A = this chain, B = another copy of it.
C-alpha cells in the first residue's frame, strides 16, 4: 500500500472547514473592541477637492476616527509606480477613488458617518477613453506623464517587413476586449489590529501575505518586522486580491489611528468600485501566413487602458504583447504596446494575466486565415505549435508541451471533424463549432530575479506534519497540493499533513499566488522539505536499526528495511527519538527551490522566464439564435496540459471554472461606465453566467510530464481561461458567418452583424 494521493482526485483539505462554515474568512474575524470601517468614494471621475469637512461625521456618536488624504498616509503606493495615495488628496482621478475612511463601533454608524462627510468638488474634464488620453492636447491624468502614457513596449525580432512581403496571405484586423470584474465569492476584507507590542497585525483576503506586508510597511511607514500579515481563508482571487486595491491599507491606517481593531469588508458594490478589473485592450493584429498555413510574420499594435493608476496593468499588457508569440514557430514579430491612463477605475491582474486579450485576437485571426487558406484551423494550430525541446522567439525553452494532444482531445470530444463547417441546427437556431489554443507560464522570474519558494515542515511526535508556506490558497488548491506532495514524500496519509495558513511572522518568505507558479515552485520546495524530513528520519532509523541508510525506505508511515519490512520504526517513534537523544532536536526543516530561469534583460526582453509552460486548447459548440442574436454555448471541452495532475478533481474544477469565467467574459459580463461612473456594480446588472447559462462543462487533462515540474507538474488551468472567448467567437462564425471582433459577443452585436451581412448579401 502506498499512501500517496498524487494523481488521485481528492477533496480539498480545507473543503470540510468551508462547507461546514467553519473556515475563518477575514470578515469572520471578530476581536474585542473591534471597529467597523467604511470608505467614502469619489462620485466623479475627475475633480478637485475644494472643501472636505469631516466634523459632522466625527461628531456622530460611535464614530472613532475619520481619515482623509490630508491626514492619512502620505506615502503613495503602486506595484511599480508609487502614484496612488490611500486616500485621494486634492484631486480625485476616478469615480470610486477613496476619499475618506470612517471607523465606528458599528458598520451602520460608519455608513451614516460617511454620509455626513461634506465634500465640495470642482469637476474637471475627465479622460474616459484611451483615444482621449492619447489626443495631442489631452490633459494629463498624472502631472508629468506626457500623453498619459503609463507604459510603452516596442520590440521587433526577425525581419518583419521582408516576411510580410513574402507571405502568401496577410490579414489585419482590430479587436477590442473589455474589462472583467473578478467576481469572487468573497469580497475583499481585512481586519487590522495592534498587537500587545504595538505591531500592526492584519488578517486579510489575499494572494500574497508577504506582498501585503511589504506594502503596509511602506505606506504606513513601519519596518516590515512591525507588521504581521496572516492570510485568512480566501474566497477566490482571480488576480484581484494582489495589492492593487486599498482595502488592507484602509484597515491598517485606521487601526493605527484608533489603536483598536478595525474591520473593513467590502459589500459587493464597494468591491466592484475597489477591485481591479481586467485590462481592456484594443489590439490590431496583422499576420502573414504561407500557403500551407505557417505563420511567417506578425505585427501587433496594442493600446491598453490602465485606468487612473497603473498597478500591475503594465505587466499585464506586457504579457498581452509577448506571451502568445512563444506558442508558435514564427520568427518575425514586431510589436508596439502602449498603456495609457484614463479617469476610470484601475485595471490590473486577472486570471490569465493579459493572455486572454491577445489570445482572443490571435485565435480569431488564425480561424479567419485558415478559412481563407481553406485549411482546417486545427491543422493550422498543429503545424504552427512549438514543440518540446524548441526555444521560442523570446527565448523560452519548451521542456514539455501537450499542445498536440490537447488539440486532439478537445476536438475529438466536441466532434470537430463531423461538425466543423456543417450547417447545423434549425433555421433560426444555428449551431457551429470553434477552436482555440493557448499557452501560459508556470512561474515568472521577471518579478525580481527570483522565482522560488520555501516550505517548512514540523514533524510532530505523532509522526504527522505541520506544513508552513506563504503561498496562498485562494481557493485554487495550494494547501491540498502541498499536503499531497509531503504526504507522498513521507508516504503518510494526506490527513496527516496539516497546512497552516500563511503568517508572515513564521511562514517562510514567498511571493504568493500568481503566474501559475505555486504548484511548480512551492511543489518543488515541498519535495525538498519532505526529503529533508525523510533524510532526518532515515538517518536516525539507520542508527537505531543499525543498518546502512540506503537499505531503508520511508513507507506506510514507517522507515523500514527494504528487504525485511518487519524491521521498522514508525515515524512517530522516530520523531520522538529524534528529540530524546544526544544532540537531538525536534524535526523542523525547510526546503527551498528556485527556478533555473532567466531574469530577462530590459533591453532585449529575451530569456527563459519560466521553468515550464502550460498549454491548453478548447473546442466549443454554440447555438446562435438568429432572431435574437443570443449566443448559447451548448458544449465545451477544454483540455489542459498541466504536466501532471496531482489532483484531477482539482484540475477539472479549475478548468471548468476557467471555462465558465471565459464564457462570462465572452458573452455576458460587461462593466458599464456611465460617464466614468460604474453603472452596474452588482450581480443583478453585472450578469455573470449562472448555471443555466453554461452547458455541462467538460474538461480534459493532458500530462506532458515537465522535466522541471514536481513529478512533472506545471501550473494547472490558468491557461484554461485563455481559449474560451475566441473559441466561442470562432464557433459563432462557424454557425452564422459573422465575425465579432469586439467583446463581449452580445445579442445586439450579433444581430447587427447578421443584419449587416444580410444587407451585404442583398446588395
Contact = CB atoms under 8 A, between A and B. Distances in A.
Interface stretch (A173-181, A408-416, A449-457, A696-704): A449-457
A482 to B, nearest CB: 15
A475 to B, nearest CB: 14
Interface stretch (A107-115, A294-302, A504-512, A742-750): A504-512
Contacts of A195: 22
A462 B17 contact: no
B588 A214 contact: no
A449 B449 CA distance: 46
Interface stretch (A60-68, A427-435, A495-503, A673-681): A495-503
A119 interface: no
A582 interface: yes
B458 A588 contact: no
Contact of A448 (B197, B458, B507, B580): B580
B448 A214 contact: no
Interface string A7-37: 0000000101100001110000011100000
A544 to B, nearest CB: 14
Interface string A460-481: 1110111010000000000000
Given A225-B498, A233-B196, A585-B592, A579 B458 contact: no
Interface in A85-130: none
A594 interface: yes
A462 B217 contact: yes
Contacts of A224: 460-462, 464
Interface residues of A, number: 59
B197 A456 contact: no
Contacts of A448: 580
B14 A196 contact: yes
Contacts of A460: 223-225
B582 A594 contact: yes
A189 to B, nearest CB: 16
Contact of A449 (B194, B233, B581): B581
A182 B449 CA distance: 56
Interface in A568-614: 579-586, 588, 590, 592, 594, 596
Given A199-B498, A586-B454, A506 B23 contact: no
A198 interface: yes
A366 to B, nearest CB: 37
B456 A588 contact: yes
A23 B196 contact: yes
A103 to B, nearest CB: 19
A329 to B, nearest CB: 29
Nearest to A210: B586
Interface string A505-524: 11111100000000000000
Interface string A32-56: 1000000000000000000000000
A449 to B, nearest CB: 5
Nearest to A595: B582
A454 B585 contact: yes
Contacts of A217: 462
A303 B196 CA distance: 46
A196 B30 CA distance: 14
B22 A586 contact: no
A580 B450 contact: yes
A536 to B, nearest CB: 12
Given A225-B465, A506-B506, 7 more contacts: A17-B197, A22-B197, A223-B464, A450-B582, A458-B508, A509-B588, A582-B594
17 contacts: A16-B197, A17-B196, A23-B196, A196-B233, A224-B462, A224-B464, A225-B462, A225-B465, A452-B579, A500-B506, A506-B506, A506-B507, A508-B586, A509-B585, A509-B586, A583-B592, A585-B590
Pairs of residues from A and B, 5 with the lowest C-beta to C-beta distance, nearest first: A509-B586, A225-B464, A17-B196, A506-B506, A585-B592
